[in-house]
Every structure is written in structure tokens, then in C-alpha cells.
Amino acid sequence: MIAAAALGVASAAARADIYVLVEKNGSVRFSNVPNDPRYRLYHREPTEHKLKDPSELPNARNPGDYRLRAPWGRKIEPAVLANPRLARQPFQEHVVEAAKQTNLDPALIHAVIVAESNYNPNAVSPKGAQGLMQLLPDTARRYGVMKKEIRQPEKNIKAGAQYLADLLQMFDGDVRLALAGYNAGENSVVRHGNRIPPYAETRAYVPRVLDTYDQLRLR
């Protein structure tokens, strides 16, 4: 629900500052009118609508983060899709197709798969996450994947990549926060002030994915 809310305020963000309020029950409210003292600034209206250099993308704290997604509609470069380092990776065909649809670097999708399931399409976590990209049933349903379809590699990768792309958009291209949201839930990241939540699993997960991505990405 929070992802939908964040996407829903995208157009408003271009006109005014956006504030967020996290209720005690975990629900999240966005507004451009902070009429409650509990509201905190979530997104400040940029002074310029177009950045001169993609590396200036707000909150892109890792060098090259802007290349992970096309924030202004720029399509992923063919060379990135044809990365020879990925040629022999399992499920490469499905990963490339998902990368084309989401403008994500396929190496990043592979890095998430390695951390989540190590390419085991039948993997199931203690919390009920399933498949290559370890999707919870509710998350999968958000992207049109039924419970009985979650372990199908093509649909699992497509939904997982779309979720990751939405998280990158939600967190202004900050891949660390997007990965933290993928692991702990976007609500947890927002609740902790748009920082990586203080969970041991999440704080180990983010650098592990980034390390794998660094090994696989096109130089």
C-alpha cells in the first residue's frame, strides 16, 4: 500500500514538499500539508526540475547508483543487457526480459537472486517468501502473480524486478534503501527516517547484494 501511495504522490512532489506520517499501527500517510506535528519531511521540492548530471540524483549515495535505473525514462543500454559476465548465469533469459521491462541492470537482479535464493526456484523462507526472488504472497499479488504461480521463475523474476524498480523510484534512486526495503519492507525504511533499519539481517543483506552486484556488473 505504501508503494502505491508513494507512486501516487509522485506528481505532487513536482509541485510541493511531501510529508509522511507513520501511525502507531504501521499505516503511512502522505501529504503536502503537514497539519499534524507528527509529520516529517519525506520529499523536498527540487529547485530545478532537471538535474545537469545523473550523478547528482538525490540520495544516490553509492557511486553509479543512477545507472541502476532510468529515472527520467532513459532506457537501459543494450551493452548492459548483453553483459558477458551474465551469459552463463542461471535464468539469464528471464532476467534480461525483466530488466528490459523495468530498466534495471540485469546484474542487480542477479545479485538479489543470489542473496535471496542462490538460484533455487523452490526456496521457501521461514516467513513464507518463495521462489528465486523470495516473494511473499501479498507482494506477488501486488504485481499480478497468484500464490500458485510464485515459484514459476519467469513470473517470480518479473514481479521481483518490478518491486525493486518501484523501491528505487520510491527512494529516489538510492539502491541501498531500495535493497533495505526489499529485505525488511519499505514501511520499515520509512519508519526509520529513510535509513537502513537497525536489523542485523538487513544490515548484512544490503552490502552482500552490493558486493555481488559489483562482481557481476558491466565495468
Measured over the CA atoms of residue 123, residue 1, residue 5 and residue 152, the dihedral's sign is positive
| 124: phi then psi, degrees, rounded to nearest 5 | -135, 130
Residue 72's Cβ-count burial label (10 Å; 0-12, 13-18, 19+) is exposed
| Beta bridge partner(s), residue 135 | 130
Q: Which residues, in sequence order, are CB contacts of 24 under 8 Å at separation 6+?
A: none
Give start and end residues of each alpha helix (H) in the chain: 2-8, 10-13, 78-81, 92-102, 106-116, 137-142, 153-170, 175-184, 186-191, 200-216
Does residue 48 have an active-site annotation?
no
Active-site option among 77, 116, 149, 186 = 116
Helix and strand tally (H, E) in the chain? 10, 3
Task: Say how far apart CA 15 and CA 147 lie, in whole Å.
Answer: 39
Residues annotated as part of the active site: 116
